[in-house]
Amino acid sequence: MKIWSVGLTGLLGLAAILAVSYAASGLELAVAIILAALFGFGWPHYLAIPARKTLGTAISLVGALSAITAHFNSGPGYLLWVAPIIAVGVGAVFIIQLIRGTGQSHRLESIFGGVVGVLIAAVGSGWIAAHRFTGDSAMTLITGASAVVVLLLGLIRWPDRIIAPLGLILGTLAGPLVGLLFSDMHILQAAIIGFVVAAILLSFRRLASIAPAVHSIPGGIALGLAPIFSLGAMVYFIDKMLIV
């Protein structure tokens, strides 16, 4: 799967998150569960590790349960149950890797990769928590605008020494611009959000550029969704720090 296809997957996943933030809350939860399933089942394919179906099911369940608890949990601790869910997911990864009968020589690498998948799937629920915390889709729109700018820029086949500073500048500027147009958020707050979003996405771009090529469609989908999921909890905690 080519790198531009991976980036396009991330853009489509982000577009779905932004679109349902303006829809009914039930639709937002449904999309979160679907994206968690796509990421969960694709992550073991991307890592090319054994027990892909079992491990993919565990990661998908972690993402789905995290989204459900973030959706139904009463505030202010919308992510209160995410940590226990992560703990159970990590335990499941260890058990799956210990009882499987193939690939013993790479068991440690498989455990590390599975644990990373559990963490990424779980923190994706931060998108729902952030939306519930602010009670306004403008914050999600500011985050999404910065992310879209950086993702589009990342599709350009330029070296990182050019894309990285340019992405940080444009991603940081996109937040305040959208904030001025669609919300009353302070420019500095929107700029901080844009900078953090740009830094995270550019880090994943660097990781994808040095990682082996993706040879499967499920693996490419998971790689494209990974940075979008990772933004979830970060956006939620930034919102809690900036909005009083």
Task: Give per-residue pLDDT as tens, 194-211.
Answer: 898 999 888 888 877 776
| Structural domain range at position 233 | 3-242
The DSSP 8-state label assigned to residue 213 in this structure reads P
Q: Give first-to-last CA distance, the chain, whole Å.
A: 44
Give the pLDDT band of residue 222 (cuts 50, 70, 90): very high
Instruction: Lowest mean pLDDT of 154-163, 169-178, 193-202, 216-225, name the range.
Output: 154-163
Residue 237: band (very low, low, confident or very high) from pLDDT cuts 50, 70, 90: confident
Q: Which residue has the higher pLDDT, 222 or 188?
A: 222
Task: Pick left, alpha or beta for residue 135 (phi over 0 → left; psi -120 to 50 → alpha; otherwise beta).
Answer: left
Q: HSE on the CB side for 27, CA within 13 Å?
A: 9
| Total domains, the chain | 1
**Averaged over 128-152, what is the pLDDT?**
82
pLDDT cut 70: percent of the chain above it: 91
The mean pLDDT value of the chain amounts to: 86
pLDDT band at residue 104 using 50, 70 and 90 as cut-offs = low
Low-confidence winner among 71-75, 78-82, 136-140 (lowest mean pLDDT)? 136-140
Q: What is the mean pLDDT of residues 110-119?
A: 93
Question: What mean pLDDT do residues 210-228 have?
Answer: 83
Range with the largest mean pLDDT of 32-46, 154-168, 171-185: 32-46
For residues 74-99, average pLDDT: 90
Phi–psi pair at 101, nearest 5 degrees: -105, 5
**pLDDT value of position 226:** 92
Instruction: Write down the pLDDT at residue 116.
Output: 94
- 32: CB partners within 8 A, 6+ apart: 17, 63, 64, 67, 71, 124, 125, 127, 128
Contact 15, 50 (CB under 8 A): no
